Amino acid sequence: MRRMMLVGFLVAAGAAVPALPGTAAEYPVSGRWSYQQQTENGPSCSGPTMEFNGNRRLDSGGSSAPDYRNLSVDQIDRSVYKVVDTMFTGPVQGQVSYTLRVLDDDHIEMDLQPSRGVVTLERCK
């Protein structure tokens, strides 16, 4: 009887977990962004890109981890955000924090302190 009650409790607790609110925030930008230098026709999005989609960030063709999940976004001022992500590289998981600045509708800047410097990205069209 005690075992059945324990199993029932665990099933009920497991069913309640999906109802808990998520802690992740959404990024202040969305869409695909290019690391490539600008041309007259806009960026060449055939090379390395970064895609922001809700609370997920995907890097393709670059040297960083390919998959990130957002943990928090704190707005510092009108166009500057402090961001903390969890990154996944196969079996390794870690955290990265950076400052994201929205320069205009088509340009953002990521200050990947302290080690990687500043990266400027242009929106893919």
Task: For residue 71, give its domain range.
Answer: 23-123
Q: Which of 16-30, 32-46, 94-108 has the lowest mean pLDDT?
A: 16-30
Residue 10 carries which DSSP code? H
Beta bridge partners of 66: none
Q: Check pLDDT > 50 for residue 23.
A: yes
Report if residue 44 sits inside a domain: yes
Q: Cis peptide before 114, with omega less than 30 degrees from 0?
A: yes
**pLDDT at residue 35, as a whole number:** 83
Report if residue 9 sits inside a domain: no
Pairing of strands 31-34, 80-89: unpaired
> Would the pTM count as exceeding 0.95?
no
Report if residue 46 sits inside a domain: yes
Domain count along the chain: 1
Report if residue 17 sits inside a domain: no
Residue bearing the bigger pLDDT, 79 or 17 = 79
Report if residue 11 sits inside a domain: no
**pLDDT at residue 116, as a whole number:** 72
